[in-house]
Structure 1
């Protein structure tokens, strides 16, 4: 493991993490739309008018407030109910089933459906009205429309008649997250096995074959497409090249998967998690001479998009925390402190709340990929998950 290239930094204790988590939840509580769902927030916490109510944001915020409810936040239950109502109401396709990408986009995307399943798990664990039906439908839609034997499809048109000739590691990764929660909430271990199927192909096989760089984009038969979106490198969901934050997110999820599988876990999960973390820090941290992770690299490890994204350092915090707890190696603690120090210096907005989503390599606020502060999912988990066990899933763990 490469050592953190500095003296460490700010190491938050449990009291600071709890207070920061509460402040992030309070900021996110500004996002409900009276007409239904949760809105994309701007830099000061207002509703961003040019963004429609989106399923991924609504589902992620429902997930966050379900965790808050489990932690005893007295106002969280009503916000979970608000999210469930939108996911069972205007964002759901009552004619064809499944969920629209947004109120302005009728497509059916795997990314959105992964978060609907995650939100449904949290709402079910919270015992909220309508959550059982939401969870049952989310499981059924994911199983029948997106699960393709051992890996997921990417998207459909509204009527489920035509699917895209593209497969994405991003949506597949979030299915791993959602499947871990579904297995713990429903008690059906098939979801854990499906999570392992995805991780085996993308993290264990394909990433290892690319020297622990995670290809993001694939053809319909799951062959890596390394040139995909070369002409659109700042795409918010499908950027060209390697996305460092996802290497770190995969590292964390492999450790959650190992903990969930218990004695059935293959022995490569921990080793692969460490390899992905090492690849991310060695290739991505300060690659251009400035602290922080460049958003994307090309396949020769040269920066493509150099801006620093809040979610990347949030996932770095979580990966370092998980590896430190799982392995006991002190080097991960130093990375954990260094990542938090960077986040507090560059992303945490002490004036308006939330985290600045994007800054330049020099630390100036930017909006080349993300405008405003769409949601609090990544930052919130960075403040909560270091205090939770690696299994069961957070929806269950916060109520233990």
Structure 2
């Protein structure tokens, strides 16, 4: 599909989405939604908000949101420099270390109930996905000026290596019991975010083990595992990254087939994960070049826009079935955010103007439909026709990490962080 064939979504009211000043302002304005009410004086930060900013669950705390609060505050601290972001980052870090970490095992609880300054573990399953964000949080905190975070990062990495790493596969297993007995499920999502964490860990510390592990993860998912799904799926998804695998890393086509909107393990090819990998491959390439990174990144992004862009209503679909049909036509905030970040990284790397066109188009769509210009932050999920009916702006894991991270990634791509 030629992206120029569709009427542009740009309007005279649209800002210059490529401007570093716009990106910094949008970062600050998005965080302002959380600045108003997110901090819980008794510990940590609230995670569940309605569209107007009302906290609608003051007690449930999820590991993913807890770590992402560290990341978002660290990004704002380094980008804007306001001391309140340092305060927020340290507050989030302390909560991660005291409420979620089990010092005896090195594991982190997945879900807790926080009440009257006390944590009650609701789910102590060990998830590699969660550990990836623990490592990312520590890497970003160290980069933002917390010296102890380097050792915490190293400890988390060693824990993941000891319990999740599978040398024969060159990938991490996904899930374990509190005493570290692995379940049979294997997934690409945890490995993708582990790759993200390793890239940030190398940037922060300069330690080569992190970037070498990032390359190993990228090869394992984007080359070997993608090739496995190629052999059994329709040509429409050639080279795409499937989500779910069995214990022997064979493709599991049926996992969550009837629960396609599971927020951490949805069924189908996730269009946003193809573009997110495109972004990560080029960030990896800037630190450890390899001939396969750029061609793979271009193919994943180009195919995603060709198959995943909704020509009628705008925006990028959520899920695609193995036969190439759209299995979930909802619009998710993170899919749009990761895709606009990938388009900017590709534009800078290749000099190809069509990627800037996609960047402007995706941003214009988000500006028109996802950015809440009344209350702040981004809406979470929209229907295909861009109606918002959930009214839940932030749930487990959101806290606007993806869209703030996209601004951060674009600023990094153009060299203005």
TM norm structure 2: 0.88
Describe the superposition over 1:46-99 as per-residue Cα deviations: whole angstroms up to 9, x where unpaired: 323176111110101101111211221221111111111112101111332221
> Does structure 1 conserve the Cα–Cα contact (< 8 Å) formed by 2:271 and 2:319?
yes
Quote the offset at 1:279 in angstroms.
1.4
After superposition, give the CA deviation of every residue in 1:127-176 in whole Å (9 maximum; x if it has no partner): 2264244223222212222222220010111121x111011111110000
Q: CA deviation at 1:184?
A: 2.0
TM-aligned CA deviation for residue 4 of structure 1: 4.5
Aligned residue number for residue 328 of structure 1: 351
Q: 1:310 to 1:51 in 2, by over 3 A?
A: farther
* Residues matched between the structures, number: 386
Which of 226, 236, 239 is matched with 2:253 structurally?
226
Is 1:17 aligned to 2:33, yes or no? no
Report the 3-state secondary structure (helix = DSSP H, G, I; strand = E; otherwise coil) of the residue aligned with 1:28: helix
Report if the CA contact (8 A) 1:39-1:57 is conserved: no
Distance 1:302-1:50 versus aligned 2 partners, 3 A rule: farther
> For residues 135-154 of structure 1, what are the structure 2 equivalents within 5 Å?
135-149=153-167, 150-154=170-174
Assess, with a 3 A threshold, how the Cα gap between structure 1 residues 93 and 341 changes in structure 2: closer, same or farther. Answer: same
Is 1:258 the counterpart of 2:285 in the alignment? Answer: yes
Given that 2:47 and 2:58 are in contact with CA atoms closer than 8 Å, whether structure 1 keeps it comes out as no
Structure 2 match to 1:77: 86
CA distance in 2, matches of 1:134, 1:110: 16
Q: Higher relative contact order by CA 8 Å / sep ≥ 6: 1 or 2?
A: 1
Q: Is residue 186–residue 249 contact of structure 2 (8 Å, CA) maintained in 1?
A: yes
Tell me if the contact between 1:4 and 1:338 (Cα under 8 Å) persists in the aligned partners.
no
Which structure dedicates a bigger proportion of its chain to strand? Answer: 2
Give 2:39's match in structure 1, choosing from 28, 32, 35.
Answer: 32
Q: Does structure 1 residue 305 correspond to structure 2 residue 328?
A: yes
**Are the aligned partners of 1:28 and 1:61 in contact in 2 as well (CA < 8 Å)?**
no
> Which consecutive residues of structure 1, in runs of 5 or more, have no partner in the other structure?
392-396
- What is residue 170 of structure 1 aligned with on the other side? 189
Cα shift readout 1:239-283 (whole Å, capped 9, x = no counterpart): 11111110110000000010011xxx2211000000000111111
What is the RMSD of the two structures over their aligned residues, measured on CA atoms?
2.0
Rounded to whole Å, the distance in 1 between the matches of 2:148 and 2:88 is 13
Distance in structure 2 (CA, Å) of the matches to 1:33 and 1:147: 35
Partners of 1:249 and 1:316 within 8 A in 2: yes
Deviation at 1:316, TM superposition (A): 1.0
Q: Which residue of structure 2 aligns with residue 371 of structure 1?
A: 392
- The more displaced of 291-300 and 199-208 is 199-208
Note if 1:344 corresponds to 2:367: yes
- Which secondary structure does the structure 2 equivalent of 1:18 belong to? helix
The structure 1 residue matched to 2:126, chosen from 108, 113, 116, is 108
**Which of 270, 284, 296 is the matching residue for 1:272?**
296
The whole-number CA distance in structure 1 between the counterparts of 2:166 and 2:42 is: 35
- Asked if the contact 2:150/2:205 (under 8 Å) is kept, the reply is no
CA distance in 2, matches of 1:36, 1:6: 49
The alignment status of 1:60 with 2:83, answered yes or no, reads no
The answer to whether 1:156 aligns with 2:165 is no
Are 1:184 and 2:203 counterparts? Answer: yes
Contact 1:321–1:386 under 8 Å retained in 2:
yes
Report what 1:124 is aligned to. Answer: 142
**Alpha-carbon offset, residue 109 of structure 1:** 0.5
Kindly state the Cα deviation for residue 41 of structure 1 after the two structures are TM-superposed.
3.1
Q: How far apart are the structure 1 equivalents of 2:134 and 2:214?
A: 16
Q: Relative to structure 1, is the Cα distance of residues 344 and 51 closer, same or farther in structure 2, using a 3 angstrom cutoff? A: farther
Work out whether residues 2 and 281 of structure 1, in 8 Å CA contact, stay in contact via their aligned partners in 2.
no
SS at the partner of 1:192?
A: helix
Kept after mapping to 1: 8 A contact 2:164/2:172: yes
CA distance in 2: counterparts of 1:314 and 1:3, whole angstroms:
18
Give the Cα–Cα distance (whole angstroms) in 2 for the partners of residues 193 and 183 of structure 1: 9
Question: Could you tell me which residue of structure 2 aligns to residue 48 of structure 1?
Answer: 56
Aligned residue for 1:304, secondary structure, equals strand
- 5+ residue gaps, structure 2: 113-121, 231-236
Distance 1:302 1:170 in 2: 21
Q: Once the 2 structures are TM-superposed, how far is the Cα of residue 15 of structure 1 from its aligned partner?
A: 1.9
Give 1:394's aligned residue: none
Task: Give the deviation of 1:190 after TM superposition.
Answer: 1.4
